[in-house]
Amino acid sequence: MALLEVRDLTVVFERKGEEPFTAVDGVNFDVEPGQTVGLVGESGCGKSVTSLAIMGLLPKRGARITGSVVYDGTELLKLSDRQMRDRRGRDLGMVFQDPLSSLNPVIPIGLQVTEVLERHRGMPRKEAMVEAKDLLDKVGIPDPNRRLSEYPHQLSGGMRQRALIAIALACRPKLLIADEPTTALDVTIQAQILSLMKELVQDLGTALVMITHDLGVVAGLCDEVNVLYGGKVVEKAMRHELFAKPRHPYTHGLLASIPRLDAPRGEKLTPIKGSVADNIPWEQGCAFAPRCPNALEVCTSVTPAEEDQLGRLLRCHNPVVPGTPAAEEVPV
Amino acid sequence: MTLGVTKKEKIDALAENVGVSLAASAWKRLRRSPVFLIGATIIGIFVVLSLLSPWLAPHDPADPMLIKQVVKARNEIPPPQPGHPLGGDLQGRDFLSRMLVGSQQTLIVGVGATLIGLTGGLILGTLAGAIGGWVDSVVMRFVDVMLSLPALLLAFSIAAMFAHPSQFSVILAISIVQIPVFARLLRGSMLAQRASDHVLAATALGVKRGSIVFRHMLPNSLGPVIVQSTLVLATAIIEAAALSFLGLGNPDDRIPEWGQMLGDVQKVFDTHPHLAAYPAICIIIVALGFTLMGETLREALDPKNRR
Amino acid sequence: MLRYTIRRLIQLVGVVLVLSLLLFAWLRALPGGPVSALLGERATPESRAALTKQLGLDQPIIVQYFKFLGRAASGDFGVSNGVQPGDSAMEIFLQRFPATIELSFSALLIAIALGIPLGYLAAKRRGSWFDNMSVIGSLIGVAIPVFFLAYVLKDNFSHLLGLPSIGRQNGDIGATRVTGFFVLDGLLTREFDASWDALKHLILPAMALATIPFAVIFRITRAAVLEVLDEDFVRTAESKGLTAPVIRRRHVLRNAMLPVVTTIGLQTGALLSGAVLTEKVFAFPGVGEALALGFERRDYPVLLLLLIMAAIVYVLVNLLVDLSYALIDPRIRTR
């Protein structure tokens, strides 16, 4: 049985006097114990909202969540606020995007690590401090004893993110959700943090849901990849499959818009034309149709269904035939 | 050179556009804010009433026409009667007329104090913020000294200076206290502007300092100043009442002012509470109106709230 | 930190010196003047001139000021000629200061004890009925003239609540005096009924005085909590599964208190000026009442001393607030 089963997860934001907005639209995916799953897409595709819905961190008012999120046999969406608090930090950990704003500026790093140990593992403060020191050490923070009494503004960006990882993994959760954990960091630090996360999830046997817009991150880390567009999963495949033979025109476009070192000199990059703002609602066809080089007439009238094609899920009327080069160059 | 001029003009136009779009978007949000509309309605009625009050008032507010009904020994004043729906005051003058005419003087006190405080603050703040250096130091030390006494206490001290207190001395006392507040506000905002990109760009293009100050920095600093002015309109009216209460207000009550009416009847609060309650409630409503406008204005002008 | 404190203290001395010179010149220019105050308006020119000379008022202002400074250094600020004729200004200040501290402190306590929790609740339930009502209430709170509210409380509520309508009585119940703070004295000497009596005399004036600080603290707390609730670190705290009270105390309030602390310092100003009005209404024998009487009776020596003291207290409190700010915010402390 999968560790996490997300079924038909839908999140609709409702504000007074405004049209309801469907941020996540019937998302399905599984995470096996110890597996690393990627959720990939542009900003606004619903990947962060998906993670917050799983964690139960969306605001109570204004967000309507339907579907099912089963963790280790328990339906999370049906848990009470108190029961969910018992799970968060113990069974599910989360790492956020901006490490500076994600740490409390006015309390020392040590307390920010120990408070989760005290809460879920019932450790007294002293014991928790020793454990916190080990944790900081494990995530590669030098001189952990000194760092415990320091404040977030005294740490470098990379170290702050390491501290956040230490906090998320403090109670050895079986599932870690990382929401763009490297986006706010320098490129060299990004690589360090990614290899640290890879190492840690392997050592601890933690399953990881990696949320990113960066296919480079996915390539180095994930076993399975879900590509999201407009709140729906448009393609789901094992990492090698996806990179070797992208079938959905969106995935294809994402891969084609990455600069490659091994590309022939002078070859132009092929960006995806338009932006997420050009979406049409899924009820009237495929949301990606206005930006899609493969679009047919049917794409703007019939919503494509999710189809299982040899172990890969695809939501497209006219998928890319494996082996075709990138779409025609788009004048920018 | 012509190129340079056109570029400067472009930047000026840009700066103005920034101001316009900010004002436009703020106005758009204000129009939809019920709180702002309530405040604006209160103030609208108040202003119209105070402008028309000389014609609306049924009697001369200074005429002790009901003096025969005032019995000092028994602490009796004229009760409500035909032609005098609110009765008379301690001197037998028609209370309704005094309330109506009082609105005008109240408006004068509020607007006068705000304008004088604003002008003084604008001059000091612009000097400090635009020139900087020793001018800034001198101005700010002066401001520090003025801010070392709580505002109202300073206003009391200033008012106590006048040999013959009058409406003017009341306005002056209240307004002087506001000068350091406006000066600091403007200076802070100007200093932030000086470091901003559009001012740097204008400086780099060789736009004259005066032009930068008056066309770029000042217009963009005005938002907080307008908000503060609206709030000062409210406090000025309340402070005028406090001055009268301490015997530092205008002793000439032939042309009444609400604060003065409220402060002057302190000896009979317990026996004739309505003489205090009417002006007090009017002051509270008008002050609330200005505050509602000021607070919603502040929110509307705050870039953090923009979408 | 220490250097900063010393620099601020030196600044304080400078500000107070300049202010005292201004006030000195200012109050000398007061209408009427002490001569008229002492002799009355109808005194003969000869007796006026004699008294003017006797008081040293015929000398240039700057000479008078330095003489004043010299005497002030030894605590001699002159003799009252209006508030309590014959008593020295310092005596009046020392005798009345504890009463005002007691009153302001109670008012501040009320304002904080109500303002912070209500501000937090309003922010938590943003847009709710409770939130809207309390915001409007706080706006009305700052719009009410303090002395009018004081009269309303005095005339209507003292009966209703069975509380005395005038300020504390000076020793009429034979209580022992230790510190001059009546409530504290009662506790120290175990004369609890004296404490209780002093407290009853405090409640109404303190309520009147607390309105504006309460309204301001409420609104600042509400705004600060709203801002902090949106912060990423609160979401992190939630993602750790911490209990609601821990998140409230350690993560939300701890950060939201930073602007509130500054506000509390500035509210000393509202308390000092409000005390003048409130103490007058309740005939509360504190510094504020003395100031009100001083303005009325043009009592220079008393006004000068009390205004300088008010400035010192105001500036000192704000210095303390700035220093305590550094204690709460490590970003300032460890810079």
pLDDT in tens, C91-127: 999 989 999 999 999 999 999 999 999 999 999 998 8
Describe the strand order of the beta sheet including A74-75 as a list of residue ranges.
A21-31, A4-13, A63-71, A74-75
Residue A330's pLDDT band (boundaries 50, 70, 90)? very low
Contacts of A111 in chain C (CB under 8 A): 250
Helices (H), A43-124: 47-55, 81-87, 109-121
pLDDT for residue B8 is more than 60: no
- Cβ of residue B284 closer than 8 Å to a chain C Cβ: yes
For A253, left (φ over 0), alpha (ψ -120 to 50), or beta? Answer: alpha
Q: Quick one: pLDDT at residue C40?
A: 63
> Within A170-244, where are the H helices?
187-204, 215-221, 239-244
Q: Is the pLDDT of residue B214 over 80?
A: no
Phi and psi at residue A6, in whole multiples of 5°?
Answer: -105, 120
CB contact under 8 A, B269 and C151: yes
% of chain C residues with pLDDT over 90: 41
Span A227-243, mean pLDDT? 89
Q: Are B73 and B271 in contact (CB under 8 A)?
A: no
Residue at C177: amino acid letter:
R
State mean pLDDT over A118-143: 92
pLDDT at site B307: 40
> Contact C18/B242, CB-based, under 8 Å?
no
Predicted confidence (pLDDT) at residue B240 exceeds the cutoff of 80 = yes
User: Hey, what are C48's tokens?
Assistant: 């006026």
Q: Which of C240, C243, C328 sits opposite A167 (nearest CB)?
A: C240
User: Which pLDDT score, from 0 to 100, does residue B178 have?
Assistant: 93
Q: What is the dihedral of CA C102, C108, C111, C112, to 10 degrees?
A: -120
Min Cα separation C255/chain A (Å): 7
Question: Phi, psi at residue B60, to the nearest 5°?
Answer: -75, 120
What is the distance in angstroms between the Cα of C320 and the nearest Cα belonging to chain A?
A: 19
Q: Which residues contact C50 (CB under 8 A, 6 or more apart)?
A: none
Contacts B281 to C, Cβ<8 Å: none
- Could you report the per-residue pLDDT of A94-123, keeping only the tens digit for each? 999 888 999 999 999 999 999 999 999 999
Domains of chain C (ranges; CATH) run 92-286 (1.10.3720.10)
Per-residue pLDDT band at C173 (split at 50, 70, 90): low
CB-CB contact of A319 with A242 (8 Å): no
Residue type, A240: H
Tally A–C CB contacts below 8 A: 85
Task: Please check whether residue C223 is in contact with residue C127, taking contact to mean a CB–CB distance below 8 angstroms.
Answer: no
Encode A170-186: b = buried (16+ Cβ within 10 Å), e = exposed: bbebbbbbbbbbbebbe
- Whether the per-residue pLDDT at B22 is higher than 80: the answer is no
Q: What is the pLDDT of residue A54?
A: 94
Please check whether residue B157 touches C, CB under 8 A. Answer: yes
Query: Chain A: nearest CA to C329, how far in angstroms?
Result: 6
Burial of residue B95 (CB within 10 Å: 0-12, 13-18, 19+) is: buried
> How far apart, in whole angstroms, are the C-alpha atoms of residue C319 and residue A112?
31
Identify which has the larger pLDDT, B303 or B29: B29
Whether residue A29 is predicted with pLDDT greater than 50 in this model: the reply is: yes
CA gap B123, B116 in Å, rounded: 11
* pLDDT reading at B219 higher than 50: yes
Question: pLDDT grade, residue B306 (50/70/90)?
Answer: very low
User: For residue C241, what are the contacts with CB-CB under 8 A and spacing of at least 6?
Assistant: A84, A85, A86, A87, A88, A89, A90, A116, A119, A120
Distances (CA, A) of C335 to A155, A161, B95, C190, C251: 13, 22, 63, 48, 22
Tokens of C43: 């005194």
Spatial distance between the Cα atoms of C141 and C79, rounded to a whole number of angstroms: 39
The CA distance from C268 to the nearest CA of chain A, in Å, is 26
Q: B interface mutation test: which of C15, C30, C148, C222 has the most B CBs within 10 A?
A: C148
Q: Which chains neighbour B (Cβ–Cβ under 8 Å, 3 or more pairs)?
A: C
Given B151, B283, B291, which is nearest C145 (Cβ)?
Answer: B283
**For residue range C178-206, what is the model confidence (pLDDT) as tens digits?**
677 777 777 777 777 777 778 888 889 99
Distance of CA A11 to the CA centre of its chain: 16
pLDDT at A277: 66
Q: How far apart are alpha carbons B263 and B159 in whole angstroms?
A: 15
Write down the pLDDT at residue B12: 54
Tens of pLDDT, residue by residue over A247-268, are 888 888 888 877 767 777 776 7
CA distances from A250 to A57, A242, A255, A300, B209 (A): 29, 12, 9, 16, 53
Q: Do A106 and C329 touch (CB under 8 A)?
A: yes
Cα–Cα distance for residue pair C200/C131, rounded to 1 Å: 32
pLDDT at C33: 59
CA distance A36 to A220: 11
Residue C324, pLDDT above cutoff 90: no
Which superfamily does CATH assign the domain made up of B25-55+93-305 to?
A: MetI-like (1.10.3720.10)
Is residue A165 within 8 angstroms of chain C, CB to CB?
A: no
More confident residue, C320 or A268: C320
pLDDT tens by residue, B31-65: 888 889 999 999 999 999 999 998 988 888 888 88
Q: How confident is the model over A21-38, as a mean pLDDT?
A: 91
C40 in contact with A at a CB cutoff of 8 Å?
no
pLDDT band at B203 (very low <50, low <70, confident <90, very high): confident
**Average of pLDDT values for C302-309?**
90
Residues in chain B: 307
Cα–Cα distances (Å) from A44 to A50, B168, B215, B223, B306, in that order, read: 11, 61, 40, 33, 20
Residue B1 has pLDDT above 70, yes or no: no
Query: For residue C283, is pLDDT > 70?
Result: yes
φ and ψ of A179, to 5 deg: -100, 100
- Statement: residue B3 has pLDDT above 50: no
Q: Is the pLDDT of residue A301 over 90?
A: no
ipTM: 0.87
Q: What is the pLDDT of residues A263-276, one digit of tens each?
A: 777 767 777 777 76
Phi and psi torsions of A39, nearest 5°: -115, 115
**C72 pLDDT more than 50:** yes
The ranges assigned to domains in chain B are 25-55+93-305
Q: How many whole angstroms from its chain centre is CA C215?
A: 16
Helix axis angle, A125-138 to A109-121, nearest 10°: 120
CA nearest neighbour of B165 among B232, B249, B234: B249
Chain B partners within 8 Å of C292 (Cβ): 246
Of C104, C56, C98, C34, nearest to C269 by C-alpha is: C104
Q: Across all residues in chain C, what is the average pLDDT?
A: 85
User: Whole-angstrom Cα distance, residue A220 to residue B293?
Assistant: 56
Angstroms from A108 CA to nearest CA on chain C: 9
Q: How sure is the predictor about B119, in pLDDT bands with cuts at 50, 70 and 90? A: very high
pLDDT at A165 over 70: yes
Cβ atoms of residues B86 and B275 within 8 Å: no
**Per-residue burial over B61-88, b = 16 or more CB atoms within 10 Å of its CB, e = otherwise:** bbeebbeeebeeeeeebbeeeeebebbb
**What CA–CA distance (Å, rounded) separates A168 from A138?**
13
Summarize the confidence of residues A125-142 as an average pLDDT. 92
When CB atoms are compared, the residue of B148, B266, B291 closest to C19 is B148
Q: How far is Cα B184 from Cα B140, in angstroms, rounded to an integer?
A: 8
If pLDDT is split at 50, 70 and 90, which confidence band does A84 have? very high
Nearest to A170 by CA among A239, A237, A112: A112
DSSP, res C155: I
CB pairs under 8 A between B and C: 120
E strand or H helix that includes residue A225: strand A224-229
The CA-to-CA distance between both ends of chain A, in Å, stands at 48
Confidence class for position B21, pLDDT limits 50, 70, 90: low
Q: pLDDT-based confidence at A207, cuts 50/70/90?
A: very high
Q: Give the type of residue at C323.
A: L
pLDDT for B2: 38
Asked if pLDDT for residue C259 goes beyond 60, the answer is: yes
Q: Would you call C236 and A104 a contact, using CB atoms and an 8 Å cutoff?
A: yes
The residue among B142, B84, B138, B77 whose CA lies nearest residue B274 is B77
